[in-house]
Structures are given as C-alpha cells and as structure tokens.
Amino acid sequence: MAKIIGLPKLSPTMEEGTLVEWAKKEGDAIEVDDLLAEVETDKATMEFRSFDKGVLLKILAPAGETLAADTPVAIIGEAGEDISALLEQAKGGAKAPAAEPAKEAAPAKAEPAAAPAAASAAPSAAPAAAASESPAPDGRKMASPLVRRLAREEGVDLAEVGGSGPHGRIVKRDLEAFVAGGGSKQSPAAPVSGLSSGPGYERLPARVEKASQMRKTIARRLVESKQTVPHFYLTIDLDASPMIAAREQMNALLKDEKVSFNDLVIKATAVALRRLPEVNASWMDGEIHFHQVVDVSVAVAVADGLVTPVVRDADRKGVLAISREVKELAEKARTKKLKPEEMMNGTFSVSNLGMYGIEEFGAVINPPEGAILAVGALRDDVGVVNGQVAAVKRMKVTMSCDHRVVDGALGARWLAEFKKLLENPMGMLL
C-alpha cells in the first residue's frame, strides 16, 4: 500500500527544512533506514532516513526546496502501484499520514488563542463578583495607593467614596466618578461590562449615551439584587376609606401643611415592623441581622433615576414628623443635595406608584433590606358599609420579600398587621 512520506522533524525546534539532496531516485528500492535525502535544519544538515520499505514511486519535492515539516516530499509503495489518488492528496497539501499529529508552532504564535474568544463570548462575571466581595473584615476602607495619593491631592475624604475593586477597594475609576459627580456621590462606579452592541442594528443606530453614575449604580445594585436575592411577592387588598378619613381629620387640624396618604403608609409600615420585628432584618453573608431601629427607605423619583432617602426611627415619629422629613428629603433629592449617609442603611423600603394610577406592582428589594412594599393606586369599588351597599375606596399593596429572611407565612402575617393598621388608623396610636 503506497503512502505519502512527509518531511520529518529532525530537531526539536525544526519548523522547516531544506532538501539539500535526494540520495535515491524514483524507482529505487528502499529498505528501512536507507538514506533518502539530506535535509538542512535550523541546527545542522541531517540525514533523512526511511522508516518504510518499498519502492520510491514519486519524489514530490525537488532538491533545493525549503519546506515546512510534514510537507509531503515522496511516495513510497510497491512497484507499479496506482498512486494517482495519493498524488491528488499530496497536491491538496494534505499532511502525510505518517507525520507527527501535532505540529509545534513558532514561539511567537505558540500560544493557542482560545482566551479571546471566551472573553468576548459573555460579559465577564468575575468583576461583578469581585466588586460584591465583602469589605475587609476589620471594616478598614481600602484604596489603591494611587487613589490615596489623588485623594490627598484633591482633598477628597475617601470615607465618602465607594469601592468597586476586590474587597471593596477604591480604585482610580471610583475616585474619578466621585469627583466627576461633584464629590457627592457615595456609590462606587459600576465595573465596566464586557457587553457591546451586537451586529445587525445598523439600520437605525441607537443614540448612545454614556450612563450617568447614578444610572450605573442603579443598574449594578438592582442586577445584584435580582441575581442574588430570592424574591417572592405577596399582595393584599385593603379598605382605604378609614385611611382617607383619618387623613382628612389630620389635615383639618393642620394649618399650612398637609400629610399625604404615603405618610400614613410609612407610619403604618413602621408600626407593623415594630410589632413584627422579624421582618425588619437583613441577610448578610450567612447571618441574619435583626435591626433594632426601624429606618424606612422611601423611593423618590428624580430626573435621571431614583434615590431612596431614609426616614430614621419612623416607628417613633408621628405622621406629621414623617411627612415633614419626607418632603425635606425629596427636595434634597431633586436638588442633588442628599448626603450619602441620608441614603444609607435603611431597614425596609416603601415605593409608591399609586399617583400614576398603577394598581399593583412588584418592587425590587433594596439590599441588604429584607423586604420592600409596593403601594398601588386608590381605586373606587363597591362594598358593604354598615349593612348597606356603598361606594368604597380600596388599595392594593405588594410586599417583595427576601426569602432568606422572610418566609411566606411571616410575610403574610406582616401584611395582615399592616392592613389592620390602615383599616383602623387609631390602632397606630396604641
């Protein structure tokens, strides 16, 4: 059976060789270990000896040619064999079957290029994971040496800057974002994602705008929440008429100011949290932290996103006090004057889209809080009042719970308590 003979690799580093001279001519009988040709390699002129026995049927490469290792140079077989198929194969540049399977590449291109393909295939998960690593156990704020120097030079207090590096390390881009944001942004820059717009959207190219730092923070924090916090949702429908009546009574007692439905919702939330403190909790790194204070975060929409200022000790404040505080915080939010500490460390959130006519919705938990309450619109309904069919106002609220902290039954008990408070506002005074 005839076979193609490839140029052998005659030194460990040989990539190509020059056929100096053929020692046999076509038609010669070949014994194993017969000298076929002399080949000049990168190291020396070497003897190319046959591994096969037979007749040299065809010389495919004349003397003088420089060829890559494994290139077909001859066909050896039995006298008179038909080698036309092999000739075709050799012409096609096929590797000699007898040749070594793995050709070693030149040093400059020795490394396989698998990594880039993998890197571009998916947004890299590693940075996000790195950014969410816990801060140093001793609570020390870590910053790169470069950031420490720049902060010194620019008079920035690093305590106000969030870090996106490993273990919360503040790195150059965090400081740049902080300074660019007028020095008021507490949240770290989001790590740059590996995502890029795919092909095929050139017909009507999108207007590409750089995301603001707030946008990036929202993106990062909410992605983190939805990816890491096991959400479940409980909705309850309650009779809003008592709340409306209570608000009217309160506002009648006030001169120039008014409390809102939302203020009452916050108050009821706070009282319910005090009564069922298991809900006022956070999952933190394998531990459950039961908060001793009731600090209610209130979602406030602003021009380019939303912020969640915190009403501290809402359970111990009256509705008016809560109302005043929320107004002040909302104003600060609109004018970008919120301080980082005014947005940090809430224990439970309230988000209200009722004013937009949204009947009900599920909100995304604001980690590390254990739950968020989404408040829908007041709506007209028909109910039975004092044995009579009458027009009533009703409202739906949906609680999103972190299942690691709040189980279904606990969430349900809390919502029942909340409903009871709003349907009997006098109960909040108890």
Partner 1 sequence: MRELRYREAIREAMIEEMERDANVFLMGEEVGHYQGAYKVSEGLLTRFGEQRVIDTPIAEAGFAGVGIGAAMTGLRPIVEFMTWNFSFVAFDQIISSAAKVAQMSGGRVPCPIVFRGPNGAAKQVASQHSHSVDPFYTNIPGLWIAMPATPRDAKGLLKAAIRENNPVLFLEGETLYNVKGEVLDEDADEVIPFGKARIAREGDGCTIVAWGRPYYTAMEAAEILAKEHGLQCEIVDPRTLRPLDVDAMVDSVKKTNRCVVVHEHWPYGGPGAEIVDQIQRHAFDWLDAPIERVAALDVPMPYASNLETLVLPTVERVVEAVKKVAYL
The least CB distance from residue 130 to partner 1, in Å, is 8
Binding residues among 234-273 for partner 1 as defined by CB under 8 A: none
| Least gap, CB of 113 to partner 1 (angstroms) | 7
> Shortest distance, CB of residue 43 to partner 1, whole angstroms?
6
Task: Choose, by CB under 8 A, the member of 104, 257, 331, 341 that binds partner 1.
Answer: 104
Instruction: Yes or no: say if 76 and 67 are a contact pair by the CB < 8 Å rule.
Output: no
Interatomic CA distance for residues 36 and 23, integer angstroms: 5
* CA pair distance 42, 77, nearest whole angstrom: 30
Residue 215 touching partner 1 (CB under 8 A): no
Residue of 167, 231, 289, 403 marked catalytic? 403
289 in catalytic set: no
Judged by CB under 8 A, the stretch of 41-49, 63-71, 274-282, 404-412 that binds partner 1 is 41-49
Residue selected from 42, 257, 331, 341 as contacting partner 1 according to rule CB under 8 A: 42
Looking at beta carbons only, is 44 or 206 nearer to partner 1?
A: 44
> Could you say whether residue 119 binds partner 1 (CB under 8 A)?
yes
Cβ neighbours for 147, distance < 8 A, ≥ 6 positions apart: 158, 161, 170, 171, 172, 174, 175
What separation in angstroms does the CA of 207 have from each of 190, 212, 302, 377? Answer: 21, 15, 22, 34
Site for partner 1 in 10-39 (CB under 8 A): 12-13, 15
Among 1, 44, 208, 253, binds partner 1 (CB under 8 A): 44
- The rounded Cα 224 to chain-centroid distance in angstroms is 7
Q: Find the binder of partner 1 among 147, 161, 259, 428 (CB under 8 A).
A: 147
**With respect to partner 1, which residue has the nearer C-beta, 45 or 251?**
45
Give the CA distances from residue 307 to residues 176, 335, 382, 402, in Å, rounded to whole numbers and listed in that order.
Answer: 21, 12, 36, 20
What lies within 8 Å, CB to CB, of 115 at 6+ separation is none
Q: How many residues at the interface with partner 1, by CB under 8 A?
A: 39
Which of 51, 53, 99, 97 shows the shortest CA–CA distance to 79? Answer: 53
DSSP conformational letter for 2: -
- Closest to 349 in 3D by CA, of 430, 273, 419: 273
Instruction: Rank residues 175 and 229 by Cβ distance to partner 1 and give the closer one.
Output: 175
Measured between alpha carbons, how far is 36 from 48 in angstroms, rounded to an integer? Answer: 6
Which of the residues 150 through 209 are near partner 1 (CB under 8 A)?
A: 164-165, 171-173, 191-192, 194
Is residue 144 at the binding interface for partner 1, with CB under 8 A as the rule?
A: yes
Where along the sequence are the contacts to partner 1 (CB under 8 A)? Answer: 12-13, 15, 42-44, 102, 104, 106-116, 119-120, 124, 126-127, 130, 144-149, 164-165, 171-173, 191-192, 194
Point out the residues that are catalytic: 403
